[in-house]
Amino acid sequence: MFGSGRKAVKAVDDVDFAFHEGEIISIVGESGSGKTTIARMIMGLLPETIGEVYYKSQRRILKNHQQKREYWKDIQAIFQDPFSSFNQFFRVEKLLQDCLDLKGVSLTKTEAFQRKKAACEYVNLKYEELYNKYPFELSGGQMQRLMIARIFALHPRVLIADEPTSMIDACSRSTILDMLLNLHDTERMTIVFITHDLGLAYYVSDTIYIMEKGKFVEKGTADDVILNPQHKYTKQLLADVPKLHEEWNLDTTVLSLADD
């Protein structure tokens, strides 16, 4: 009656995977497949009921606020809805200052100002125009850029990008994606993309994991998974990719979707 028993679907079940420094992986699946649950467990926002999470070859332990602060210096996330990721009562200046405080670096007011200004300039925002504004006064594109500005200020080792371009217009998507890939290149940052977009996954990933009903059903390099799918669910996802014309080339079509 309440979803228990043999027909129950676990949000994440028997998932075992690893990612390495500088790698880009994508976890692909439809809504409800368990992708965001994995993202939140990696972040430490949801506890794992069974199993363990390891970071730097050591079991992760997040029992108190200090342990979480130290972990979040290295592990950060960009979520699908930027408006739910910010305290709506904090101005932009405060939101960026909190990032510098989390990093634990002692800065003068002038140095802090320059750091926040540089973070905004990286994402093509003008700090002088935004510092006194609240999140609800910004557009969706500005909010998503501000989230990347926070990442730039923190310089984490791992970034969890949970559908980072799904709530912004098509013109802004390629810009946001380019910013993330540039961070990956300059900082040797590991990125985990959580997405339903096979075009995005193929375009950016070293490794792709296909997820269905809480389980990984296929994994491999981007070329292997997309161009030579083995599992019927992967084939179904590919069949749902819009065709540009009747006689179409998968490689061209998927890349075109990513560019869009």
Q: Give the tens place of pLDDT for each residue, 21-42.
A: 999 999 999 888 889 899 999 9
Average pLDDT, the chain: 85
Structure tokens given for 121: 């300039």
> CA-to-CA distance for 208 and 238, rounded, in angstroms?
14
**Closest by CA position to 118, among listed 131, 127, 129, 110:** 127
How do residues 147-172 score in pLDDT, each as one tens digit? 889 988 888 999 999 988 776 777 77
Q: What is the identity of the amino acid at 121? A: E
Band (141; pLDDT cuts 50, 70, 90): confident
Which amino acid makes up residue 74?
Answer: D
What interhelical angle do 109-122 and 140-154 show, nearest 10? 130
Burial 212-233 (b: 16+ CB within 10 A, else e): bbbbbbbbbebeebbeebeeeb
Question: Taking 60 as the threshold, does the pLDDT of residue 221 lie above it?
Answer: yes
- All structural domains of the chain: 24-82+90-259 (3.40.50.300)
Two structure tokens written together for 55: 């970071």
Confidence band, pLDDT 50/70/90 cuts, at residue 255: very low
Mean pLDDT along residues 69-74: 91
145, 113 contact by CB (below 8 A) = no
Cβ-contact 225, 219 below 8 angstroms:
yes
Mean pLDDT value of segment 2-20? 74
Q: What is the pLDDT of residue 93?
A: 94
Q: What angle in degrees, to the nearest 10, is found between the helix axes of 170-187 and 140-154?
A: 0
Q: Residue written as tokens 């869009």?
A: 260
pLDDT of residue 137: 93
Distance CA 163, CA 27 (A): 10
